[in-house]
Structure 1
Amino acid sequence: MMNGRGGVGGGGGGGGPVKGLGEVLSLPILLAERVAKAVDEAESFRSECAEVGRLAEQVATMFRSAARRAAAYDRPVRRVLAEASKSLERALALVRRCKRSGVLRRVVTITTGSADFRKTLALLDASLADLRWLISIYSPDDDSGAVISLPPIASTDPILSWVWSYLPTIHSAAHHPADRAEAAQALANLALDNDRNKKIILEEGGAPLLLALLRDGPSIDAQIAAAAALASLASAPEHVAVLLRELAIPPS
């Protein structure tokens, strides 16, 4: 799993109830609104602040679009949202520094401002690239099957971006049956490569989607591919336990 931009870390599930996507989305929307207000109040680096505000609004707009498309499988949306929220928080703190508030604050802003703006704008650009990629993996109408490009958030872990791309294709009935079969077979191949890939597929919610495709797949090819992926995942006892839980079958 990913820590920060491009790293891999723990599952992050936590023990509390999972928030609805709309509730989670409220944070970056609120942050973007606060950035816009801070831009209006800025008295130094006004052009740079305006550019930050423009990108922040684009991030918020694209998140609304991604959230509308995500349907039931929203793990990539939540992960990208968390990273983008960090970028927006940084943007808000930076723009607020540009409001006139004493000599020391102005000196600090002047001496460090340009570098801070470059870094903040780069982070917002990366968030926008993540969001463009995110929208693409939920768009079956581009007639290109699963999207396997690499977003900035997964720049050091391409396997994660591939899994994120394949799972929405498997899940959505809007995708062509051949694309869904191809995505399931791609997951089967990834799972055969090594145990880490198996773990990523399971942690990212692959088991219930593959089981659903096996049960209700639109074609024999899709069901066979789902069965192959599940067989690959079931090669380790701890993974079998995960699959049994998804099937509500108590392990023997």
Structure 2
Amino acid sequence: MGDFVKEILVKPIQYADEVVKLADGAISFRQDCLEVKTKSEKLVSLLRQAARASGDLYERPTRRIIDDTEQVLDKALTLVLKCRANGIARIFTIIPAGAFRKITQQLENSIGDVSWLLRVSTPADDRDDEYLGLPPIAANEPILCLIWEQIAILCSGTIEDRTDAAASLVSLARDNDRYGKLIIEEGGVGPLLKLAKEGRMEGQESAARAIGLLGRDRTASNRL
């Protein structure tokens, strides 16, 4: 997992470094480019933290968040490059109204997403009790991010936290078949099986109950 994360972080870190480097040379929209630079500096710092913590990051949200972040930084780099054009090239370079407002918001969202990823993947002993909240990426899929959070706790939490996470997954799987499928797709079965083997009685029961609920759907259970 660690090598995979480092590999997918190469491009976004490279893009962010390029944005930071090139923004100072902007000819047009200079102030806007400097704001993009500031946000990119913050984002690349978080991405480097992710690279250092690559072995602890939960794979499913990592893939999604880093992919989205790479796309945002690619757009930011393209925008900054347009602002460096001069002479005839500058005349034919069109920057849509609101482009900077949109990209700065997207960068801010990426900062929130990567910050959440680092917090949710932090081992329980090193994590404070602050509520993690939902990342910006959860705007359209809050349940998915809730499932990510519970599975992350199952992977790195204390026995007590893992027991609570298993109970939460039981509630989700019981309430909605789609949530059960998501738990399977997002890699929840392995950590549940591990808890069923090594947890305390309450945790083992919750894990077994969750696995039983996940096995109700024949199509989904083929992935168990």
Q: TM-score with structure 1 length normalisation?
A: 0.80
Secondary structure of the equivalent of 1:117? Answer: helix
Report the CA distance between 1:170 and its aligned residue.
0.3
Indicate if the aligned counterparts of 2:138 and 2:145 stay in contact, CA closer than 8 A.
yes
Indicate if the aligned counterparts of 1:62 and 1:131 stay in contact, CA closer than 8 A.
yes
What is the identity percentage for the equivalent residue pairs of Structure 1 and Structure 2? 36
Unmatched tracts of structure 2, length 5 or more: none
Show CA shifts across 1:144-170 (max 9, x none).
3884x2211111111101011001100
Whole-angstrom CA distance in 2 between matches of 1:145 and 1:39: 35
Partner of 2:28: 44
Q: Does 133-142 or 188-197 show the bigger shift?
A: 133-142
Partner of 1:233: 214
1:191–1:146 CA distance, 2 compared to 1 (3 A): farther
**What pairs up with 1:164-175 in 2 under 5 angstroms?**
164-172=148-156, 175=157
Q: TM-score with structure 2 length normalisation?
A: 0.89
Q: Which one of 105, 108, 114 corresponds to residue 131 of structure 1? A: 114
**What pairs up with 1:7-156 in 2 under 5 angstroms?**
20-67=4-51, 68=53, 71=56, 73-103=58-88, 105-106=90-91, 108-109=93-94, 112=96, 115-139=98-122, 140=124, 141-144=126-129, 147=132, 149-156=133-140
Could you say which structure has the higher helix fraction?
2
Aligned-residue Cα RMSD (Å) equals: 2.1
Whole-angstrom CA distance in 2 between matches of 1:106 and 1:96: 14
| Total equivalences in the alignment | 219
Unmatched tracts of structure 1, length 5 or more: 1-18, 244-252
Indicate if the aligned counterparts of 1:31 and 1:92 stay in contact, CA closer than 8 A.
yes
Q: Which runs of 4+ in 1 moved over 6 A?
A: none
Whole-angstrom CA distance in 2 between matches of 1:26 and 1:69: 12
Whole-angstrom CA distance in 2 between matches of 1:121 and 1:23: 26
Q: Does 159-168 or 30-39 show the bigger shift?
A: 30-39
Secondary structure of the equivalent of 1:242? Answer: coil
Whole-angstrom CA distance in 1 between matches of 2:91 and 2:20: 20
